[in-house]
Amino acid sequence: MTQTSDGRIWAFRRGGIWSYVKGEEWVHEIGTASSVRGFIESPAGRYWITFDGNVSYFDGNTWVSAPRPAPFSGDDLRFFEDDNGDLWVTGNGIYKWQETEKRLERTGNPARIQIDSDRP
One-character DSSP codes across 26-44: -EEEE--SS-EEEEEE-TT
Name the band, by pLDDT with cuts 50, 70 and 90, for residue 116.
very low
What pLDDT, in 10s, does the model give residues 46-80?
Answer: 888 887 777 888 877 888 888 776 656 655 677 88
Domains of the chain: 2-108 (2.130.10.10)
Average pLDDT of the segment spanning 24-32: 87
Strand order in the sheet with 47-51: 36-41, 47-51, 54-58, 63-65
What pLDDT, in 10s, does the model give residues 86-102?
Answer: 888 877 778 888 888 88
More confident residue, 36 or 73: 36
75, containing H or E segment: none
The model carries a pTM of 0.70
